């Protein structure tokens, strides 16, 4: 005969004298009703001298890209890299890890920053804090740069505008000032490299229009083709026969340049590529013929 199951007694516990329940019976507090105690952070006022130091240091942080650009420009202009590197670009790459583009973007941004400083007093020193905010303005005239910055600040509610807003304002101004492309194929133009880092080294060179785009031209020079905005071109107004003569000269120089050349020869070709007349002098013609014979590229 089976015995009936025994009834289990309910677990009971006796509270300790301090009414603290045993650890195994402590219930977790409901997070929804939990009270979070936050310690107050003590705020101490800065002295007038400390406030001045803080503002000075903040300005240094904000202008870091500007100081870098100014320093790079001085290193380049004084050729302080010459004891260790042949070119400024090689020096920047080895010393700072910069690409050629990075260094010139910083230097161009510093030029724009200097221009904006002239109007900053009107706006409580609201100046760019990063190179990207300045980059869209580098191809504009100084007065246009100031106009862009004022409008961008207004759109940003009186604060430093992000690059996106600056770029939009620049686009609006460029659309307002753009004119139709009137250049013709085969026309000879002078390249104006001012305020355009992508054309650095090409200032004063002549180029022959190979393609006329909406707001730019693709021009052929002695060492290749470049797409140049209309604001960076100036027609020589040569006659058709003179333009054809320059095309022949361009082809001759290009054939010589396609060889592996010494630096001296490259410099000579570059000088010929900046001649501001539709013909060569007798000496220039002899030099080019000598190079053609040397590199056996007689047309």
- Structure tokens, 293: 């014979």
Instruction: Flag whether pLDDT at 291 surpasses 70.
Output: yes
pLDDT of res. 17: 44
* pTM (two decimals): 0.46
Domain that holds residue 277: 180-299
- 151/257 same-domain check: no
* Structure-model confidence comparison of residues 180 and 132, the more confident one: 132
User: Is 159 within a domain?
Assistant: yes
User: Is 64 within a domain?
Assistant: yes
Question: Radius of gyration of the chain from Cα atoms?
Answer: 35
User: Is 32 within a domain?
Assistant: no
Give the total number of structural domains in the chain: 2
The candidate with the shortest Cα–Cα distance to 289, out of 258, 262, 260, 253, is 253
| 140 neighbors 99 (Cβ within 8 angstroms) | no
Task: Give percent above pLDDT 70 in the chain.
Answer: 79
The candidate with the shortest Cα–Cα distance to 170, out of 153, 158, 154, 152, is 152
What is the Cα–Cα distance from 163 to 158, expressed in whole angstroms? 15
What is the Cα–Cα distance from 215 to 178, expressed in whole angstroms? 7
CB-CB neighbours of 15 under 10 Å: 10
- 144/244 same-domain check: no
* Structure-model confidence comparison of residues 94 and 12, the more confident one: 94
pLDDT in tens, 43-73: 788 888 888 778 777 666 667 888 899 999 9
| 98 neighbors 124 (Cβ within 8 angstroms) | no
User: Is 20 within a domain?
Assistant: no
What is the Cα–Cα distance from 81 to 101, expressed in whole angstroms? 18
- 159/233 same-domain check: no
CB-CB neighbours of 157 under 10 Å: 7
pLDDT of res. 26: 45
pLDDT in tens, 157-207: 888 999 999 988 988 877 776 667 889 999 999 999 876 777 778 888 999
Let me know how long the chain is. Answer: 299
* Nearby residues of 106 by Cβ (< 8 Å), 6 or more positions away: 65, 68, 69, 72, 131
- 215/248 same-domain check: yes
Rounded to an integer, what is the distance from CA 80 to the centroid of its chain? 23
pLDDT in tens, 261-274: 889 998 899 899 88
pLDDT of res. 218: 92
- Per the listing, tokens 């310690």 go with 39
- 187/168 same-domain check: no
Query: Average pLDDT of the chain?
Result: 81
* DSSP string computed for 139-150: TS-HHHHHHHHH
pLDDT of res. 35: 59
pLDDT in tens, 18-43: 454 444 444 555 555 555 554 555 67
SS3 134: helix
pLDDT in tens, 225-251: 888 888 889 999 999 899 999 999 999
User: Is 28 within a domain?
Assistant: no
Task: Give percent above pLDDT 90 in the chain.
Answer: 33
| Domain limit, last residue, from 123, 156, 177 | 177
Phi, psi of 259 (to 5 degrees): -85, 170
- 130/196 same-domain check: no
pLDDT of res. 9: 47
User: Is 100 within a domain?
Assistant: yes
Q: What would the mean pLDDT of 126-138 be, rounded to a whole number? A: 89
pLDDT of res. 10: 47
Beta strand ranges found along the chain (DSSP E): 188-191, 206-212, 216-221, 224-229, 233-235
What is the Cα–Cα distance from 233 to 238, expressed in whole angstroms? 14
């Amino acid at each position: 005969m089976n015995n009936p199951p025994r009834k289990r007694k309910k677990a009971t516990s006796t509270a300790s004298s301090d009414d603290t329940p045993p650890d195994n019976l402590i219930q977790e507090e409901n997070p929804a009703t939990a009270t979070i105690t936050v310690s107050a952070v003590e705020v101490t006022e800065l002295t007038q001298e400390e406030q001045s130091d803080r503002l000075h240091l903040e300005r240094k942080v904000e202008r870091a890209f500007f100081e870098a650009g100014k320093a790079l420009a001085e290193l380049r202009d004084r050729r302080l890299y010459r004891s260790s590197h042949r070119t400024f670009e090689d020096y920047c790459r080895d010393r700072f890890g910069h690409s050629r583009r990075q260094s010139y973007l910083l230097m161009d941004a510093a030029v724009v920053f200097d221009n904006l400083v002239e109007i900053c007093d009107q706006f409580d020193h609201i100046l760019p804090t990063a190179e990207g905010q300045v980059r869209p303005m580098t191809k504009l005239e100084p007065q246009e740069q100031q106009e862009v910055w004022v409008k961008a600040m207004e759109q940003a509610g009186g604060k430093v505008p992000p690059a996106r807003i600056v770029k939009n304002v620049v686009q609006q101004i460029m659309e307002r000032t753009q004119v139709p492309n009137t250049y013709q194929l085969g026309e000879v133009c002078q390249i104006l490299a001012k305020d355009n880092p992508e054309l650095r080294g090409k200032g004063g060179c002549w180029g022959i229009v190979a393609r006329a785009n909406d707001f730019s031209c693709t021009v052929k020079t002695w060492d290749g083709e470049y797409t140049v905005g209309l604001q960076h071109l100036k027609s020589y107004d040569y006659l058709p026969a003179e333009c054809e003569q320059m095309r022949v000269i361009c082809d001759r120089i290009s054939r010589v340049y396609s060889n592996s050349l010494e630096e001296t020869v490259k410099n000579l070709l570059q000088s010929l590529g900046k001649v501001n007349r539709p013909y060569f002098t007798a000496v220039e013609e002899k030099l080019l013929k000598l190079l053609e014979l040397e590199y056996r590229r007689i047309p």
